[in-house]
A = this chain, B = another copy of it.
Amino acid sequence: MRNCGFDVDFTPKDMQELAETAKLCRGDILKMTTLAGSGHPGGSMSSIDMYLTVYRYANITPENVKSPSRDRVFVSHGHTSPGVYSALARNGFFDIDQAVAEFRLAGSIYEGHIERMVNGVEWTTGNLGQGLSAACGAAMAGEIAGEEFSVFCFMGDGEQQKGQQAEARRFAAMHGLNNITAFIDYNKLQISGNIEDVMYQNIKDDYTADGWFVITVDGHDFEKLFTAIKYGQKIEQPVLILAETVMSKGVSFMENIHGYHGKPLTDEQLDKALAELGLENDIARYREMRKAFVFDPSHHELEIPEVKVAYDRNKEYGLDVKTDCRSAFGDAIYDIVKNSQEEGMTPVAVFDCDLASSVKTDKVEKEFPDNFVQAGIQEHHACVAGGSASVNGVLAFFADFGVFGVDEVYNQQRLNDINGASLKTVTTHIGIDVGEDGKTHQCIDYLGTLRNLFGFRVIIPADPNQTYKAVGFAAENPGNFLVGMGRSKLAVIADGDKPFFGKGYDFKYGQVDVLRDGDFAIATYGSMTARALKVAEILEKQGIKAAVLNCSCPLHPDMEAFEKYTDKPVFVYEDHNEFTGLAATLANKFADDGEPVRIVRFGVRGYAFSGTPEDIFKLLGLDPETVAESIKAELA
């Protein structure tokens, strides 16, 4: 049985102290928003009594805030940051004065939406509808890592409209995440007015239909809140506490006015409100503190957990092997999961979206079901849950097709990245190489999209050997990675009579592999590398010597490799949108130096067709024969 801070009695002293703190917090909320001239007092004041009740009893304190076994508190409606900051500060997590004075001040960590660098904040939120997924990810990670803790998740009512909520609900029910207690701040107001006027909602029935136990309670009555939580902790279902609340609760002239969702009080109104709360108006003091703020970038650093991972560093697929990179990924993930069963290794969670047999995680599913997490056709949820799991005690993988693991969840990946998560996304079926499924399934924008995310690293290996090593590298290095590959079987890239990326090959991020030297460069990666070698062969027969540069890290290639080839055009050959792929990376790099290098693109110029990759490449003029011909013409 997990540690449960609610296994006590609620006393009059509790009631008195909570009420007293709540009053102070309401003052903090009003002061910080007025001081900043922006922010969200309304929801902060309707949620604050719940925040205080949970922080008082849950097993999370300033002392254990880094402990793997602490309870987790997620706040999905991150715009209630004033409420969260005041609740955390009044529970000793940091200095309340600093939070009030610095709220929404450029360079401070007390940002407009809660961020993970603030002590006690588990997850950066703000884009609505994602917090419950993050809570599920932590709960799942705890289960896999063998840690017993409770997970609390606070949400707004308006955000229940987001579809991702439904995905998270089903996931929690499916996996029996009964240690989750979620709360909805049911103040019934959203920006445009009453939630039921804005959009049809039937919150209670939605949760019930999706397998949750729902308790309705007065969200401003500490004792009832406590009792509901305590009761819920014994229920063998995920529990929703639907807390009936009042927007801007506690200040008479603000209550139930939806305008206060995102509008602070004026100085005069603040004075009046603080008087009603019986609090001193000390905003002048905070104003002075605010002026004295000094920016310290180190406060914004996020800790990424170290992991311990083992895989076969001498793995080699021989030259006679013809397999797909997906299968090499399957081998790598299997080895990593298998080795993780040993003492001292980081436990692994492999998130799947109903594609295990295609993305080759099915062997893990079968042999290590505890490490395999079925998320259904619910990519938004899976991506966030995976991101959250990755900073909650497990090494997390998210395996999917390219369009689902990148395109469909672009914003979820962005928020994972902002969170400093360490999710290892592996997408099979990228590029035209996905073939017959057609344009809706052809992910030809993984570089163009992920180039926007400052922390992301992308690896597109050239063959099964490089795939295996790349997966190992991504697993053992902190941060968010995409390892991407196509669907087809690929020849093992050779270095004379042995594999190029076989025994003795260590993957280094950014390294450009010169697979053959020549008078000018063909830059390529992934499933096009083998084709580029074919181009070079064809050209060689005509006396033209092409170097083939395999750029398996196409967002961050080591540019030194290009230095000797810049007097001729650089030919870029890629199974990617040609405006946003490796060619764009190189154009950016050359422009930084003002290098007069012409880039000739052989990539995808429009939404393509449904057919075999070979046939499509031919139609697009991207088959090796046509490319060789074009290069010859360019050089003539």
> Across the interface, do B454 and A126 meet the contact criterion of CB distance under 8 Å?
no
Q: Is the CB of B163 within 8 A of A163?
A: yes
Q: A464 to B159: give the CA distance in the assembly, Å.
A: 32
Q: Out of B107, B192, B378, which one reaches A611, CB within 8 Å?
A: B107
Question: Closest 6 CB pairs between A and B?
Answer: A163-B163, A106-B611, A594-B598, A199-B376, A596-B596, A111-B610
Q: Within the assembled complex, what's the spacing in Å between the Cα atoms of A441 and B201? A: 25
13 additional A-B residue pairs with CB within 8 Å, beyond A106-B615, A202-B211: A105-B611, A105-B615, A108-B611, A113-B441, A128-B377, A158-B354, A162-B377, A163-B381, A173-B200, A174-B199, A200-B210, A444-B452, A592-B599
Asked if A588 contacts B584 (CB within 8 A), the reply is yes
| A125–chain B nearest beta-carbon distance, Å | 7
A408 located at the interface, meaning its Cβ lies under 8 Å from any Cβ of chain B in the complex: yes
Residues of B within 8 A of A580 (CB): 448, 451-452
- Cβ distance A471 to chain B, nearest Cβ, rounded Å: 22
What are the residues of chain B within 8 A of A418 when measuring CB–CB?
439-440, 607
Which of B202, B378, B414 sits near A162, CB closer than 8 Å?
A: B378
Write out the residue numbers on chain B whose beta carbons fall within 8 Å of the beta carbon of A162. Answer: 163, 167, 377-378
Partner of A380, one of B104, B163, B171, B414: B163
Number of interface residues of A (CB under 8 A): 117
A129 contacts B by Cβ under 8 Å: yes
Q: Are B591 and A161 in contact (CB under 8 A)?
A: no
Please pick, from B163, B598, B619, the residue contacting A167 in the complex, using a CB distance under 8 A: B163
Give a binary string over A583-609; 1 marks a CB under 8 Å from any B CB, 0 the rest. 110111011111111110100011101
What residues on B are CB-neighbors of A375 within 8 Å?
A: 199
Q: How far is the CA of A607 from the CA of B301 in the complex (A)?
A: 12
Least CB distance, A296 to chain B, in whole angstroms:
12
Asked whether A354 lies within 8 Å of B577 as measured between CB atoms, the reply is: no
Q: Which of B377, B598, B607, B611 is close to A190, meaning CB atoms less than 8 Å apart? A: B377
Chain B residue numbers with a CB within 8 Å of A127 are: 403-404, 408, 440-441
Q: Find out whether the CB atom of A593 lies under 8 angstroms from the CB atom of B588.
A: no
Chain B residues with CB under 8 A of A403: 127, 411
Q: Chain B's nearest CB lies how many Å from the CB of A482? A: 15
Task: Please name the residue on chain B nearest to A593 by beta carbon.
Answer: B598
Which of B200, B444, B586 touches A591 (beta carbons < 8 Å)? B586
Answer whether residue A119 sits at the interface, using C-beta atoms and an 8 A cutoff. Answer: no
List 29 A–B pairs whose Cβ atoms lie within 8 Å, in order of A's numbering.
A78-B440, A79-B437, A104-B436, A105-B615, A106-B611, A106-B612, A107-B611, A108-B609, A112-B441, A113-B610, A159-B377, A162-B377, A162-B378, A163-B164, A163-B381, A165-B166, A173-B200, A191-B357, A192-B356, A199-B354, A208-B209, A407-B410, A410-B410, A417-B607, A448-B449, A454-B605, A584-B584, A591-B598, A591-B599
A18 at the interface (CB under 8 A from B): no
Inter-chain contact B440/A113, CB cutoff 8 Å: yes
**A415 touches B (CB below 8 Å):** yes
Residue A616 at the B interface, CB < 8 A? yes
User: What residues of chain B lie closer than 8 Å to A206, measured between beta carbons?
Assistant: 166, 206, 209-210
Residue A445, interface by CB 8 Å: yes
Q: Hey, what's the 0/1 contact readout for A607-636 against B, CB within 8 Å counting as 1?
A: 101111001101100000000000000000
Residue of B nearest to A606 (CB): B454
In chain A, positions 322-376 with a C-beta closer than 8 Å to chain B are: 352, 354-358, 374-376
A351 to chain B, nearest CB (A): 13
A561 interface residue per 8 A CB criterion: no
For A40, the closest partner residue in chain B by CB is B437
Shortest Cβ distance from A164 into chain B, in angstroms? 5
State whether A436 touches B611 (Cβ < 8 A). no
Bound: A411/B615 CA distance, A: 26
Q: Is A38 an interface residue (CB 8 A)?
A: yes
Which chain B residues border A174 with CB–CB below 8 Å?
199-200
Q: By the criterion CB–CB under 8 Å, are A610 and B166 in contact?
A: no
Determine the chain B residues whose CB is within 8 A of the CB of A408 once the complex forms: 127, 411
Kindly report which residue of chain B lies nearest to residue A170, judged by CB atoms.
Answer: B200
B-side contacts of A377, CB under 8 Å = 128-129, 158-159, 161-162, 190, 199
CB pair A440–B415 under 8 Å, yes or no, is: yes
A530 to chain B: closest CB distance in Å? 20
Q: Is A39 part of the binding interface, using a Cβ–Cβ cutoff of 8 Å?
A: yes
Q: Is residue A115 within 8 Å, beta carbon to beta carbon, of the partner chain?
A: yes
Q: Is the CB of A410 within 8 A of B378?
A: no
Alpha-carbon distance A376/B129, docked complex (angstroms): 12
A124 CA to B439 CA, complexed, in Å: 10
Contacting residues of chain A (428-485) with chain B, CB-CB under 8 angstroms: 435-441, 444-445, 448-449, 451-452, 454
Verify A378–B199 contact, CB threshold 8 A: yes
Check A518 for interface membership: any CB of B closer than 8 A.
no
A510: Cβ under 8 A from any B Cβ: no
Point out the residues of chain B lying under 8 angstroms from A210, CB to CB: 200, 202, 206
What's the nearest-Cβ distance from chain B to residue A104, in Å?
A: 4
Bound CA span A358–B381, Å: 28
- Look across to chain B and name the residue whose beta carbon is closest to the beta carbon of A110: B610
Interface status of A205 (Cβ within 8 A of chain B): yes
A173 to nearest B CB, angstroms? 4
A579 contacts the other chain (CB 8 A): yes
- How many angstroms between the C-alpha atoms of A403 and B105 in the bound complex? 21
* Given A200-B174, A440-B418, A594 and B591 contact (CB-CB distance below 8 Å): no
Give the residue of B108, B411, B438, B607 whose beta carbon is less than 8 angstroms from that of A610: B108
Instruction: Report the separation of the CA atoms of residues A595 and B587 in the bound assembly, to the nearest whole angstrom.
Output: 11
